[in-house]
Structure 1
Amino acid sequence: MSETLQFIKALNDEVRRHPAIHDNSFLKLVATKKFSKRAWLGFAQQLYPHVHFFIPYMEEMLLNTFDMNAKLIVAKILLDEYGEDAAGDSHPELFRQFVRACGGAEADASLLTTKLQPETITLVETHMRLCRDEKFLVGLGAIGQAHEFAIAYLFPPLVKGMELAGFTAEEMKFFSLHVDHDVEHSAMLDQAMVRLALTDDDREQIRRGTLASLEARKNLWAAMERRMVGIDNGDPPATSERSLVDVTRDYKNVPDHFWPA
């Protein structure tokens, strides 16, 4: 157990130093520059697919282990994702509230049809692979250290930038809620790591999932910086030809419509 606790501490340090977080150009820019709400809509349109798929990522993890204690931890976090921690509003619905603050009902509807940048598609495909096709511990690293732990460092710069743009606390609730709750979620997933990561190979699987997720996030942030700057300069970068609806067709049990509120 002590070996795994030391591993978690070292991995957390590695996460904090990762270029997706430490000295990241996009996070530094977005925390200090006042972007238009139109630019923030461009950001939201490209992040929403990951939010849309986050519940399916974790549901795939449930099917990827026979350890009942690990399943219980994942299931408890899923209850929050479904909306238990937000008066019944699922986390995708909370995100859509931010989108509507960017541009109303038209912006909300655009989430289905917006053409996605390649980095957004890669982010989704990477996490579906890590959580569905790889071993459970790989997905645990991707969702645990690279998300539930890392969000405390990834989201505060975004919140600062949203405040500069004039968004209210209620409109930013998706982001602030995750900063508050993901510390608890991270500690819960650490319990699963302590229970299951008994060998060097086990721990390497967790690290591999963590770093694969962060690499996809780093590439997404670089694309987001180009997009938001481009939108405010009147020259947004090109996208792929695929929309969220197109991406969901590749996956069983992932709806091509919005999650219910």
Structure 2
Amino acid sequence: MNNMTQRFDMPYAHQNDSDFILQELAQLKAEMIDQISRHPFLIECRNGLASLDRLKAFMVQQGKYSRHFTRYICQLMANLESNEDILHLLDNLFEEMGFGEVSEPPHSQIYRDMLLNFDLQLDAFPTRPSTQRLINTMMNFCKQPEGVYGLSALCLGAEAIVPSLYSDIVTGLVKQGVALEDLKFFTLHIECDDGHADTLLAILSRLIIEKPTLFEVVRHAAFLMIQARLEFLDDM
């Protein structure tokens, strides 16, 4: 993390260069994904070394975090100034609730059904402190009066890392003998969350192009969300 911190603490030399800003955002996104993918638990998942019990623990704690997702989005929308930006987030919200282009059950129901395949129920397990910190960190960013905080946390600290994160979890579960068709929630989000991240990244890009000093806010929020996520994974 030190290299990343040093890099973005340098003076912003190209404040009017939109191409530079887009490149920096893309690089920041890649660094957030890399930080997550190098976590020992996910390396073990990719190598088939994570036990089924540990993977089940991840599913339970991730479910406790994910079930607040509609609340994160609603809090964020309340702090956005642009109606067009709000509409983009509404598309994400409708998809979570099962009202997207393809009608399907709410994602929360898909998650509950997936857990039932493993005889798991969220309320049967305590919420770990690291899970609560992850929830609180995301919620606190989404509640900030300036929407760029919540956008940064939701985009770079959540949606952008989901395809890579869930791909490793699916790999770990399949290598433990779990059928791919029993992992619909994960496979669904591997496919759709890249699009969600791109939508949020486009909004962030516009805001930073209009006010380049906001990049430090974006970097700060992304960094803290990834730190909370890494601590969450430490508990697996």
TM-score when normalising by structure 2: 0.84
1:203-258 deviations in whole A, cap 9, x for unaligned? 2111111111111110011101xxxxxxxxxxxxxxxxxxxxxxxxxxxxxxxxxx
User: 1:92 aligns to what?
Assistant: 108
Give the Cα–Cα distance (whole angstroms) in 2 for the partners of residues 214 and 4 of structure 1: 21
**Residue 74 of structure 2 is aligned to residue 59 of structure 1:** yes
1:133-175 deviations in whole A, cap 9, x for unaligned? 3521111111112222211221111000111223223321111
**Residue 216 of structure 2 is aligned to residue 204 of structure 1:** yes
Give the Cα–Cα distance (whole angstroms) in 1 for the partners of residues 50 and 32 of structure 2: 28
Rate the CA distance shift 1:84–1:169 in 2: closer, same or farther, 3 A.
farther
User: 1:227 aligns to what?
Assistant: none
Counterpart mapping for 1:61-80 below 5 A: 61-80=76-95
Q: CA deviation at 1:97?
A: 1.7
- Comparing 42-51 with 83-92, greater Cα deviation is found at 83-92
Give the Cα–Cα distance (whole angstroms) in 2 for the partners of residues 59 and 65 of structure 1: 10
Counterpart mapping for 1:5-154 below 5 A: 5-18=22-35, 20-21=36-37, 23-31=38-46, 32-33=48-49, 35-36=51-52, 38-85=53-100, 87-103=103-119, 107-108=120-121, 111-133=122-144, 135-154=146-165
Give the Cα–Cα distance (whole angstroms) in 2 for the partners of residues 82 and 4 of structure 1: 33
User: 2:169 aligns to what?
Assistant: 158
1:88-143 deviations in whole A, cap 9, x for unaligned? 3111111112210111xxx22xx124212110110101111011135211111111
User: 2:11 aligns to what?
Assistant: none
Rate the CA distance shift 1:12–1:43 in 2: closer, same or farther, 3 A.
closer
Unmatched 5+ stretches in structure 2 = 1-17
Rate the CA distance shift 1:135–1:211 in 2: closer, same or farther, 3 A.
same
User: 1:232 aligns to what?
Assistant: none
1:3-55 deviations in whole A, cap 9, x for unaligned? 4312212212321332x22x21000112312623x443322221111111111
Unmatched 5+ stretches in structure 1 = 225-261
Give the Cα–Cα distance (whole angstroms) in 2 for the partners of residues 165 and 147 of structure 1: 26
Question: Residues 55 and 169 of structure 2 are in contact (CA less than 8 Å); yes or no, is this contact kept in structure 1?
Answer: no
Give the Cα–Cα distance (whole angstroms) in 1 for the partners of residues 26 and 56 of structure 2: 36
| Secondary structure in 1 matching 2:179 | coil
Q: CA deviation at 1:188?
A: 1.1
Give the Cα–Cα distance (whole angstroms) in 2 for the partners of residues 143 and 120 of structure 1: 16
Question: Residues 69 and 192 of structure 1 are in contact (CA less than 8 Å); yes or no, is this contact kept in structure 2?
Answer: no
Percent same amino acid among aligned pairs? 22
Aligned residues: 216
AA aligned to 2:183 is M
AA aligned to 2:211 is T
RMSD, matched Cα: 1.8
| Secondary structure in 1 matching 2:235 | helix
TM-score when normalising by structure 1: 0.77
AA aligned to 1:51 is S
